[in-house]
Structure 1
Amino acid sequence: MKSESIVVVGAGVIGLDVALVLAKRGYGRNTTIIAEHLPGDTSINYTSPWAGANFSAISASDANALRWDKLGYAYLLSLAAKDDKDAFVKESTSTEYWDEMPSPAKIDSMAKYLKNFKEIPAGDLPSGVAYGIEFTTITLNAPMHIRYLLRKLTEEYGVRVVRKRVSDITSGFLSKDTKVVFNCTGNASRDLNGVQDSKCYPTRGQILLAKAPHIQQNVMRHGKDYETYVIPRPYSNGNVILGGFMQKGVSTADTFSYETESILSRTTAMLPSLASSETQILAAFSGLRPSREGGARVSKEVIQVDGTGRQGVLVHNYGAGGTGFQAGYGMAIEAANTVAEELQALA
C-alpha cells in the first residue's frame, strides 16, 4: 500500500510533528502513524497530554538543543499568528529566572531570536536568582494541541492512523512497501526490542491544574534540582498549569499531597496574585518526561527487517525530555532530512 511507504511509530507530539513535516513535504498519503495511545487518550505511558506546555529556556545548552529550540520557536510563533485558536497556541509574556547563571552560549542564542527579549537588571531579581529574562513565549493547551495535529494530519493531509502496540521496532515495517520507519516512542525506547537504549530514563513531574482566569502571564524559575512554573493554558476558559518537579529516574504515576503543597508554596511565592480567592485547584497529575543521557537522539540506521535479508531504514527521534512541544518541530525537520534521498525515491 502506498500509505505504508513511511511509518511513524508513536503519536505523542514528537511523532505527530514528524508526520506533519512529512505531510508538508508532500508525503502525507505515503504515511501511516501506528501507536498504542492517540490524542484523546490518557496514560502514564503517554506523556504529551500532561505537558505544561510552553516555549521555555528549560532546554540544555548543547548545539542540538539550541538549534531545535530556534526552529521550534519560529514554527510556533508562525502557528500562533495564523491558526492560534484552532491550534490552541497563543503568544504570552514570559519571565524566566535561573538560580545559577546559564551558559554564555545559551544566553547569546536566546538573545538573537526570542521576540522582545530583555535581560532583567540584577537589582530587580528576586532573592536567590542569578539571572532573569523577559520575552514573548508561546503557550500551548497540550491535550487539545495534539488533537489538532492529529485532525490536521488525517483530514487535510490524508495521513493514515492505526491503533497498534508494537513489541519490536521492526513491526513498524508493516509490509514490503514500507521503506522508512520513524521511531518516536519516547520512554518506550529504553525497553523496545530493536532499540533498547539504556541511556533513556523517565523524568517524573507533578503538576496542578488550576482555574485562575486572572493569570495571563507565564513565569518560570529554573533551580538546581527543581522547576517552578506558572503556565496559562490557552483557550481553556482560564485554566493554568502550576508545577513542578524534575525527578530523574522516577516512574510512579501517583500524585502526592506534599508535592501539591510544595508547588502551591513555590508558585505563589513567585507570583503572589495566585493567592487570590479566584484561584481554584482542580486536580493534580503526574507525567513522565522521556529523557535521555546526552540529549535527544535523532539518527538514521539501516536494519534487517526480517529473516529474508530485507533491509529497511530506521530513523530514531526520541529523548526530548521536557522540551518536546518546543523542540519537536525542529527535531522533526532534522529527522526527515536524514532520509531525504529515500523520500525522494517515493515520489
Structure 2
Amino acid sequence: MPEGARTAGPVEVVILGAGVIGLTIARTLLSSSPNAYKIKIVARDMPEDLDSQGFASPWAGANWSPIRSFIERTRKWERETFEKMWELIPQGLAMVLPTRVFFTTNEDLTQLWYKDLVREFRVLDPSEVPSGLKGGIAFKTFSVNPELYLPWLQSELLAHGVEFIRRRVHSLSEAAALAGPNGVLVNATGLGARSLIGVEDTDVYPIRGQTIIVHAPGVKEFVSFPLDAGKTGEATYIIPRPSPPGEVLLGGTFQPDNWDTSLDVDTARGILERCGMLAPQLKDKETRVLRHNVGLRPARKGGPRVEAAWTDVPLKSELLHESGTNVHGRVLLAHAYGFGAAGYQNSWGAAHEVADLIASKLNE
C-alpha cells in the first residue's frame, strides 16, 4: 500500500455501477475477504429499476451461450462463472437448460473450446440437423432470470452491510471523493465509461438487442445459432428461464453501434417467425407475448477492460474543479467494463480477477 496509507480498519470501496458486473464484484470482495472492505455501490440505475433502459443487465438473455472466444483470459472467466452458476441451481436461481446450437458454416465441432466446460456435450447426428444447416451440437447449460437474479444479488449485499447510493456520478474525481484517500474505486459503468470524465473511453460502443418475453410452457430447451453480428444484425435464440414457470426469452438482434432503444415492430415479427421455425411449440395456443425488450449491450473494441492501478486524484485531465471533489492523494482505480453480450457469463470469473487485482495492489 502507498506510503501514508491507512492500515487500520476496512478499506473503503466505491463501486460505480449496479449492473451484474458491479454487484458480482461486491459479492466476490465480501466472500474473499469478509472484514477487509466497507463497500458502497453508487449508481444512477439500481437493481430494482428493472424497466430502465439506462443499463443493460435487466434485458440480458442471462444464460451461458457459445460465444467465439480466442483469449484464454475470457475463457477462464467463463469457466469460473459456469461452475458458480451451476452451484446456484439447487437454490432455484439458475436452471439446467438442455441445448441445441446449429451452425450455418462448416466447422470441426469436436474441437470447440467449451466442449469440456458445458455438461453432456455431443455433436448432433446429421439426421438431427434441420435441412440447409451444416451441423449442430447438444449440451446442457444454465439460465437465470435477471428480474430475480439482480434483486437476489442486491439482497445478499444488503445483508452484509453494503450501502447502495442512488446518484449520477459525472467524473472519476467525484467518485474518488466518495472513496476517500487510499480507498478503492471500481469503474463498472458499462456504456457509461464512454462519457465518465476521467475515463472517456471511445472504444466503448453499444450492441443493440431486441427480444420478446413470452409465456410458452411447451418450450423446454435453449435453441440458437452462435451469437454473431453477421450482415443482417439478426440473432436467433430461444432461452427458457427458471421462473416464473413457462417464461421464455426470444431473440433477437445483434446490432453494433446502434443506440436506438425504441421497439421495432417489424423486427419483433421477424423474431417470432425465426424462433417459430426452430421451436414449433411456440405456435401452441398457450403461447402468448408478455412484453418486448430493447437493451444496449456494453461492448468495447479490443475486448473488456479489467485492470487496476494506483491513481493520483484529482486527475490532471479534469480541467475544472468540481464541488465536493477536493480529495488529494491516491485511490486504487479498478476498471471492469466492456463485456458486451457476455456480462452474465463472464461475471463471476471477471469479478474474481478484479478482487485478486485489488488485494494484490493494496499489499504493494
TM-score of the superposed pair, with normalisation by structure 1: 0.91
| Pair 193,131 (structure 1): closer, same or farther in 2 beyond 3 Å | farther
Find the counterpart in structure 2 of residue 34 from structure 1.
Answer: 42
Q: Deviations over 1:144-169 (max 9, x none)?
A: 100000001111x2212111111012
Distance 2:311 2:108 in 1: 38
Find the counterpart in structure 2 of residue 6 from structure 1.
Answer: 13
- More displaced stretch, 214-223 vs 190-199: 214-223
Is the Cα–Cα contact under 8 Å of residues 181 and 327 in structure 2 kept in the other structure?
Answer: no
| Pair 100,293 (structure 1): closer, same or farther in 2 beyond 3 Å | farther
Find the counterpart in structure 1 of residue 275 from structure 2.
Answer: 267
Is 2:221 the partner of 1:217?
yes
Distance 1:32 1:3 in 2: 12
Is the Cα–Cα contact under 8 Å of residues 209 and 282 in structure 1 kept in the other structure?
Answer: yes
What's the offset of the Cα at 1:335? Answer: 1.2
Find the counterpart in structure 1 of residue 175 from structure 2.
Answer: 172
- More displaced stretch, 215-224 vs 136-145: 215-224
Distance 2:347 2:107 in 1: 22
Distance 1:283 1:235 in 2: 15
Is 2:359 the partner of 1:340?
yes
AA of the residue aligned to 2:200: Q
| Pair 289,269 (structure 1): closer, same or farther in 2 beyond 3 Å | same
Distance 2:211 2:257 in 1: 17
Q: How do 1:209-288 and structure 2 match up within 5 A?
A: 209-222=213-226, 224=230, 225-288=233-296
Q: Answer with 1 or 2: which has the greater Rg.
A: 2
RMSD: 2.2
Distance 2:10 2:161 in 1: 9
| Pair 321,101 (structure 1): closer, same or farther in 2 beyond 3 Å | farther
Q: Deviations over 1:185-219 (max 9, x none)?
A: 00111111111111110000110011111212111
Q: Deviations over 1:292-344 (max 9, x none)?
A: 11111111132222277512111110111111111111111111111223456
The secondary structure found in structure 1 opposite 2:119 is coil
1:109 to 113, 119, 131: 113
| Pair 126,20 (structure 1): closer, same or farther in 2 beyond 3 Å | same
The secondary structure found in structure 1 opposite 2:88 is helix
Distance 2:153 2:269 in 1: 34
What's the offset of the Cα at 1:130? Answer: 3.1
Distance 2:134 2:174 in 1: 49
1:159 to 159, 162, 168: 162
More helix by share: 1
Q: Deviations over 1:1-45 (max 9, x none)?
A: 967611111000000110011010124651111111111102211
1:78 to 80, 87, 106: 87
Is the Cα–Cα contact under 8 Å of residues 23 and 154 in structure 2 kept in the other structure?
Answer: yes
The secondary structure found in structure 2 opposite 1:244 is strand
Distance 1:102 1:318 in 2: 31
AA of the residue aligned to 1:341: S
The secondary structure found in structure 1 opposite 2:120 is coil
Find the counterpart in structure 2 of residue 96 from structure 1.
Answer: 101
Distance 2:359 2:292 in 1: 43
Q: Deviations over 1:99-131 (max 9, x none)?
A: 235688x94421122111111134432234334
Find the counterpart in structure 1 of residue 346 from structure 2.
Answer: 327
| Pair 308,53 (structure 1): closer, same or farther in 2 beyond 3 Å | closer
Is the Cα–Cα contact under 8 Å of residues 310 and 333 in structure 2 kept in the other structure?
Answer: yes
TM-score of the superposed pair, with normalisation by structure 2: 0.87
AA of the residue aligned to 2:334: V
How many residues align? The count is: 339
The secondary structure found in structure 2 opposite 1:295 is coil
The secondary structure found in structure 2 opposite 1:112 is coil
